Chains A and B, each alone.
Chain A
Amino acid sequence: EADIYQTPRYLVIGTGKKITLECSQTMGHDKMYWYQQDPGMELHLIHYSYGVNSTEKGDLSSESTVSRIRTEHFPLTLESARPSHTSQYLCASSEYSGGEDTQYFGPGTRLTVL
């Protein structure tokens, strides 16, 4: 099972601040993902990456941006946080192997923008 770490776990911040949510994995997986999850709701894919220097937007439009400079690191940035960005953000990684591609998730970052 993959080891995926997200920091911070909880963040309360004021409107207009720039924030970066960190995600790191130690399994060497090529693919990484960011999901947004509102309370009691399903997860929506907002960004994904197939490898270094690869980033794509997901199914749900998001004002956040991502980068993938290193295989193990996939940070998400909000240039100017707004209350509408309040949500839980989950990072995942996966690698295709033996006909299977399974995503493993980090613990999440719960963001509150005041």
Chain B
Amino acid sequence: AQSVTQPDIHITVSEGASLELRCNYSYGATPYLFWYVQSPGQGLQLLLKYFSGDTLVQGIKGFEAEFKRSQSSFNLRKPSVHWSDAAEYFCAVAPFGNEKLTFGTGTRLTIIP
């Protein structure tokens, strides 16, 4: 069975600084990979996804993620964060050809002035 690890429970970043959120997965083959964002009291919004092809994926709100097969990672990045980026971020994985998602425990992002 697949699993997802988000090593950072909570990250604090200054507004305007760069951001990288880590995600590592465990799966025997190349999975489908996703990043979702959840604002307090809200559902999940899809930021970006990787199915195949170019390993650098662009998403909404200026986010990008890079799939690195050798490191089993799919880290999320943003060059300059905004106060509105404060939220919980979830990495998720689905086996190739399967729609069932396994989520990581999430990383809570706090933005300071």
- The interface of chain A, by Cβ under 8 A from chain B, is 1, 4, 6, 31, 40-45, 48, 59, 90, 92, 94, 96, 99-108, 110
Distance in angstroms between the alpha carbons of A43 and B106 in the assembled complex: 9
Could you say which residues of chain B place their CB within 8 Å of the CB of A105? 36, 43-45
Q: Which residues of chain B in 66-106 are interfacial with respect to chain A, using CB atoms and an 8 Å cutoff?
A: 90, 94, 99-101, 103-106
Quick one: which of A44, A94, A106 contacts B99, CB cutoff 8 A? A94
CB distance from B1 to the nearest CB of A (A): 9
Task: Decide if B100 touches A40 in the complex (CB within 8 Å).
Answer: no
What are 21 pairs between A and B in contact, CB < 8 Å?
A1-B46, A4-B43, A31-B99, A40-B108, A42-B105, A43-B101, A43-B103, A45-B101, A92-B44, A96-B99, A100-B32, A101-B32, A101-B99, A102-B49, A104-B46, A105-B43, A105-B44, A106-B43, A107-B42, A108-B41, A110-B41
Distance in angstroms between the alpha carbons of A44 and B106 in the assembled complex: 13
Instruction: Kindly list 14 other residue pairs between chains A and B, CB separation below 8 angstroms, not including A108-B41, A108-B42.
Output: A1-B46, A31-B99, A42-B90, A42-B103, A42-B105, A96-B99, A99-B51, A100-B49, A102-B34, A103-B46, A103-B99, A104-B46, A107-B43, A108-B43
Distance in angstroms between the alpha carbons of A110 and B42 in the assembled complex: 10
Quick one: which of B52, B94, B100, B106 contacts A42, CB cutoff 8 A? B106
Distance in angstroms between the alpha carbons of A59 and B100 in the assembled complex: 10
Distance in angstroms between the alpha carbons of A45 and B34 in the assembled complex: 16
CB distance from A95 to the nearest CB of B (A): 9
Distance in angstroms between the alpha carbons of A65 and B90 in the assembled complex: 26
Could you say which residues of chain B place their CB within 8 Å of the CB of A42? 90, 103-106
